Structure 1
Amino acid sequence: MKAVILAGGLGTRLSEETNNKPKPMVEIGGKPILWHIMNIYSAQGINEFIIALGYKGETIKEYFLNFYSINNDISIDLSSGETTIHGNKQPHWKVHLIDTGLHTQTGGRLKRLRSWLKDEETFLFTYGDGVSDIDINASIAFHRSHGKLATVTTVKSPARFGRIGFEGEKIREFYEKPQEAEGWINGGYFVLSPKVIDYIEGDETPWEREPVERLARDGELMGFRHYGFWSCMDTLREKISLEELWNNGSAPWKIW
């Protein structure tokens, strides 16, 4: 099973960090938050990733092209140019780095990946700025049990994130960012059928708006409730909070 990770946005609310790098490359504990997200999946058996690039995508490409040297000790013989990599700190990941456009919206990025997902029965989908101790395999099992097109992991968070209205486990209403709301919200970890791509009109379509709202209206969106840890990294304050958890050895999302 493949996991799609959106990594192309401008990250304007974290401009202190994103002027020179894309948000998924902002570091927590010396590692890009993208690395943390991939480890969350990998710890649960998901090792193939499609990274949807956009803003400063070359930075992410350079990171993975140099992954071995960045994450291991190396010796370089300057007389011959021979390089030896020491240690065995490489994960068994297959990573596809796909340019999905500089200004493409979240839904548009997913639509541009249709050819990469055409042979998949189910795939995973998330953003490049959120960490959680979510049970990925439990969310997959839940998705398969209900037979609908889409499952979103829902979490509890303050009102500014929007609201999800439940009817049992079926999502009745999906409001991305209403003025006043509190309760269950979009935690950003989806399990999807490739058929959801038909709900996306084009590059200008945000995934969180019309496609997800239509899926909810059609009765095709179910919510997997996660009661554990979840945090996004939208602001410098949130980045600092995650950094403190990591440095204190108490990061709940470190399940590997």
Structure 2
Amino acid sequence: MKTLILAAGLGSRLQHKTQHSPKALVRIHDKPILAYQLDALSACGMKDIGIVLGYQGEMIKEYIEQNYSFLHTTFFWNHDYASSNSSYSFWMAKDWIADESYIHLNCDILFSPTLLQKLLKHRHENVIAIKRDVSLGGRLEHVVVKGEQIQKMSIEYDPQATGKAFGLAKLGTLSHVILQKLIATYLAQGDKNQNYFGMIRHAIHQKIPYYVLDATHEELFEVNTLEDYKKVEEYVAHKKLC
């Protein structure tokens, strides 16, 4: 199974941390976020990696070539990274994904190999990792769940929401086909600024089935802000991701 990592963005909410470095190479304790991701993927036998590059992309490419040459890595470029969003980054790699199931990964997510194995073995085709022990509210991916199936996903607070979706997912053929059509509609209007998970929100509204992997008690972290960074840095400093 392939893995696609979206790593084109500016990472501006990390402020000085990304002034001269892409978000994927921000160091947590002793190594970059990307290294944690690639180590976990490799531990699970995931060697076919695609990465969409943009801001400071050559730094990422060089880092992988120097440290992870044993992986089969394909690079894609979003040269409009400063004025586009993650759905456009995905668009750059859509033909590489083709009609296969794949692991979809944002470049600011840390996770354990144990959690990744659970995602890979999940019986459903379209599965998104969520946590229920996070503070809801603000602009994050709120999920309303019935059983294991996502009923609604919203960037705005929803009183029925019981968790937050993270940028770690297993997505199948149906999802790929539907999301590709949705993104194409926006691009035809000249809109490159749609979020990829925003497209998933639309697909859920169209009754395309997506399910959750509850990672509440698992090692799953997002490093999107300086506050996130400090929390994850403290955790990793005292307990190695396993």
1:184 corresponds to 2:163: yes
CA contact (8 A) 2:14 2:226 kept: yes
User: Residues of 2 paired with 1:126 and 1:178: CA distance?
Assistant: 23
Higher percent of residues as helix: 2
2:24 aligns to what? 24
Q: Go from structure 1 to structure 2 and tell me whether the alpha carbon gap of 1:100 and 1:181 turns closer, same or farther (over 3 Å shift).
A: farther
User: Residues of 1 paired with 2:228 and 2:193: CA distance?
Assistant: 28
2:212 aligns to what? 223
- Alpha-carbon shift at residue 26 of structure 1 (Å): 0.5
Counterpart of 1:175, as a letter, is S
TM-score in terms of structure 2 length: 0.83
2:193 aligns to what? 204
CA contact (8 A) 2:76 2:92 kept: no
**SS at 2:61's partner residue?**
helix
**SS at 1:135's partner residue?**
helix
**SS at 2:104's partner residue?**
strand
Runs of 4+ in 1 over 3 A off after TM superposition: 179-182
Q: Go from structure 1 to structure 2 and tell me whether the alpha carbon gap of 1:170 and 1:247 turns closer, same or farther (over 3 Å shift).
A: closer
- Alpha-carbon shift at residue 91 of structure 1 (Å): 7.0
Counterpart of 1:171, as a letter, is I
* Percent identity of paired positions between Structure 1 and Structure 2: 21
1:164 aligns to what? 143
User: Residues of 2 paired with 1:235 and 1:62: CA distance?
Assistant: 25
For structure 1, which runs of at least 5 residues remain unmatched after alignment?
A: 68-89
- Alpha-carbon shift at residue 132 of structure 1 (Å): 2.1
User: Alignment partner for residue 98 of structure 1, among 65, 70, 76?
Assistant: 76
Counterpart mapping for 1:29-44 below 5 A: 29-44=29-44
User: Alignment partner for residue 201 of structure 2, among 195, 203, 213?
Assistant: 213
Counterpart of 1:189, as a letter, is L
Counterpart of 1:176, as a letter, is I
- Alpha-carbon shift at residue 56 of structure 1 (Å): 1.3
For structure 2, which runs of at least 5 residues remain unmatched after alignment?
A: none
User: Residues of 2 paired with 1:47 and 1:29: CA distance?
Assistant: 25
**SS at 1:13's partner residue?**
helix
- Alpha-carbon shift at residue 121 of structure 1 (Å): 2.3
Q: Go from structure 1 to structure 2 and tell me whether the alpha carbon gap of 1:26 and 1:154 turns closer, same or farther (over 3 Å shift).
A: same
2:232 aligns to what? 242
- Alpha-carbon shift at residue 35 of structure 1 (Å): 0.8
- Alpha-carbon shift at residue 136 of structure 1 (Å): 2.0
1:136 aligns to what? 116
CA contact (8 A) 2:29 2:237 kept: yes
CA contact (8 A) 2:115 2:219 kept: no
Question: Larger radius of gyration, structure 1 or 2?
Answer: 1
CA deviation string 1:162-193 (max 9, x = no partner): 41001221111101243878631112111112
Counterpart of 2:127, as a letter, is T
Q: Go from structure 1 to structure 2 and tell me whether the alpha carbon gap of 1:146 and 1:247 turns closer, same or farther (over 3 Å shift).
A: closer
User: Residues of 1 paired with 2:118 and 2:227: CA distance?
Assistant: 31
User: Residues of 1 paired with 2:158 and 2:15: CA distance?
Assistant: 24
TM-score in terms of structure 1 length: 0.79
Q: Report the RMSD for the aligned CA atoms in angstroms.
A: 2.2
Higher percent of residues as strand: 1
